[in-house]
Structure 1
Amino acid sequence: MLNERSREIFRTIVDAYVETGEPIGSRTISRRLGLNLSPATIRNVMADLEEAGLLFAPHTSAGRLPTDAGLRLFVDGLLEVGRLSQDERDNLDARCAAGGRSFSAVLEQATQTLSGLSRCAGLVLAPKTESALKHAEFVALGPGRALVVLVTEDGLVENRVIEVPVGVPASALVTAGNFLSARMVGFTLEEAKAALVQELAQNQAELDELTARLVEAGLASWSGERSGGSLIVRGQKNLLEDINALEDLDRVRRLFEMLETKETMMRLVEATHRGEGVQIFIGSANSLFGIAGCSMVIAPYMNSREQIVGAIGVIGPTRINYARIIPMVDYTAKVIGRSIG
């Protein structure tokens, strides 16, 4: 338990660390606090905090930095989480909205947006697409363009924009949608694609030429779709900006290697299903990576039935701006959830 004076000094040290990444000494703390505390008194408090495992000195006669355990205490008990402004919410809504894009494109954009706003690497765990299909539909968007909509039985909605002949009648779009629905319902996307491609190739489908072209275009729009979950990471270069020592470079290299492994993705799945809301993993003590100097803030997103289907967040140095990033990740996860339908 920290008394009021210890809390204020500890908070000042953490704030300075998030701001600069540099150790802070007693005289600087005294000036920042503006309280009637001498540097000697502050040094005594810092010594107590160090003995408690919350601070450490990177080298002799230096100021102090928070330990991973200290950051954990700060985030859990002392952090005052900020709120996103309406402009920030509107910005995230606009950037991450579906807007006729596929769900994978929405995830890609959301990850890049989080990376840019947080100056960290953004990561998203995309849901598996192994659920059986429930519905297929073609929607006219304007001259030469249409939207192909697939709905899975677990509520995931996928959209693709395709090019169609100018002046294509609405009846052809309806017929193409009915054709896909009749043959895809109850099958996974990969199963349905394989059967439909064969049927079209063997001219077994009783379709006119225009409708057949629409069906083929709809199937082609899902080419290369992976049937398993995937981990998308964007903005890795942000992790290289604060490197000032070889050990930092080695740490980031090891992190990159871990992010490319299937095991990491499975651990993310387990972590997001264990708890609700934003989860924070700090430094070498975290159960996901165990790499000193790295933190991750991640939140699950849900489908319309409130089932967790994936997760999105950021990973960066332990001195990330938790107060700003936590609500940002939380809100982005909610925006993605609304895009699923």
Structure 2
Amino acid sequence: MQLDNRARTLLKALVERYIADGQPVGSRALSKLSGLELSPATIRNIMADLEEMGFVASPHTSAGRVPTPRGYRMFVDTLLTVEAIDESALEGRLQARLQHSTSPQKIITNAAQVLSSLSQFAGVVMTPKRESVFQQIEFLRLSEKRILLVIVDQGGDVQNRMLLTEVDYTPSQLTQAANYINQHYAGQSFDQVRMHLQGELRQLRDDMTALMQAAVEAGSDAMSEEADNNVVISGERNLLSVTDLSSNMNSLRRLFDMFEQKTGLLQLLDVSSKATGVQIFIGGESQLVPMDDMSIVTAPYEVNGRIVGTLGVIGPTRMAYERVIPIVDITAKLLSSALSQH
């Protein structure tokens, strides 16, 4: 919806003032802040129009107005002037943290910490998605009909899963089954193995078929669970001091549910990885954001020219977007460079 210049100027002044002090903004304050030579009656009429269009709202306790999610969206999309920050100083600070990291995981952890410390909110990084492939499996007989499945992925990480079987397999049978899978399918995903085995297992003994099928199902579950934990969060406690997010127990519960479960957060970060540049998700407008008073500013990052993940800042809708946006943008570029060089 198009707004004329006066309405745009007043909406911009209102959002900036509300972000600064969190109090409803009245017509008298807007007259001074906007620099427009308008009568109080004219300003009230324009504000009434903005309220009717859904850009501002009037709290019951005050004659002033506050921005709505739609008002924030109009502000960040068309009215925001991004702060001209000292990029060289910021880059130097970020590079000092990222370059001293000894592994990709440490680089990512440091990036989340940098986002948190610079924004004073929570920093989040979705780690690069690793292909869910295994390098080797092994079966260990624990007791009658109880087998430990050991899975080694391509990065050398090890996961264990317990298998309860109907047959008491001998150690030699377990070795034979593991050798068959390793020789034929190492370096593939368990989903790929499942498709291959559907035809090939008919040629094997029935009792071995059941064991291999159980291993594939357990291995697939194990790799999926590992993929669900690929997000690093730093500075969650910063949000406890943000009254807008922690004003009541229900808000706090939803906030920490988001951090503990991570599913919704991962979905949002995955969506933003498919876009280019900085994206802003505003609570109350985007169903991906779990709280009305929360916003998330994100940007994708790359390794050797290929987008592999997303990072961002989680904070209140009443955040200084003009300052957070360049922090997220520059951090994404520096993380891309650090991981590509590692």
Number of the residue aligned with 2:198 = none
| 1:93 partner amino acid | Q
Does the 8 Å CA contact 1:243/1:249 hold for their aligned counterparts? Answer: no
Does the 8 Å CA contact 1:126/1:231 hold for their aligned counterparts? Answer: yes
Cα distance between partner residues in 2 of 1:243 and 1:269: 25
RMSD: 2.7
| 2:63 partner amino acid | A
| Sequence identity percentage | 42
Cα distance between partner residues in 1 of 2:122 and 2:72: 20
Secondary structure (helix, strand or coil) at the match of 2:24 reads coil
Secondary structure (helix, strand or coil) at the match of 1:122 reads strand
Number of the residue aligned with 1:126 = 127
- CA 1:262–1:290 in 2, change beyond 3 Å: closer, same or farther? closer
Cα distance between partner residues in 2 of 1:262 and 1:76: 27
| CA deviation vs aligned residue, 1:108-166 (integer Å, no higher than 9, x gap) | 12111111111211111112344789xxxxxxxxxxxxxxxxxxxxxxxxxxxxxxxxx
Range that drifts further, 241-250 or 106-115: 241-250
Does the 8 Å CA contact 1:125/1:265 hold for their aligned counterparts? Answer: no
- CA 1:318–1:51 in 2, change beyond 3 Å: closer, same or farther? same
Number of the residue aligned with 2:325 = 326
Number of the residue aligned with 1:236 = 236
Give TM-score scaled by structure 1 length: 0.69
Structure 2 residues without counterparts, runs of 5 or longer: 135-152, 161-224
Number of the residue aligned with 1:272 = 272
Number of the residue aligned with 2:180 = none
Matched, 1:93 2:95: yes
> Which ranges of 4 or more aligned residues in structure 1 deviate by more than 6 Å?
191-194
Number of the residue aligned with 1:209 = none
Query: For this pair of structures, how many residues does the alignment match?
Result: 257
Number of the residue aligned with 2:285 = 285
Secondary structure (helix, strand or coil) at the match of 1:274 reads coil
- C-alpha displacement at 1:63, in angstroms? 0.6
| CA deviation vs aligned residue, 1:16-67 (integer Å, no higher than 9, x gap) | 1111111110111112233322222211111110000000011144310000
- C-alpha displacement at 1:337, in angstroms? 0.6
Number of the residue aligned with 1:102 = 103
| CA deviation vs aligned residue, 1:268-315 (integer Å, no higher than 9, x gap) | 3531332111111001221322421000001111110x2221111111
Number of the residue aligned with 2:255 = 255
- CA 1:24–1:35 in 2, change beyond 3 Å: closer, same or farther? same
- For the pair shown, which has the larger CA radius of gyration, 1 or 2? 2
Does the 8 Å CA contact 2:240/2:246 hold for their aligned counterparts? Answer: no
- C-alpha displacement at 1:9, in angstroms? 0.7
Cα distance between partner residues in 2 of 1:257 and 1:193: 26
Cα distance between partner residues in 2 of 1:331 and 1:25: 36
Secondary structure (helix, strand or coil) at the match of 1:285 reads coil
| 2:332 partner amino acid | A
Does the 8 Å CA contact 1:132/1:189 hold for their aligned counterparts? Answer: no
- CA 1:294–1:248 in 2, change beyond 3 Å: closer, same or farther? farther
Give TM-score scaled by structure 2 length: 0.68
Number of the residue aligned with 1:137 = none
Cα distance between partner residues in 1 of 2:158 and 2:291: 43
| 1:239 partner amino acid | L
- C-alpha displacement at 1:250, in angstroms? 2.2
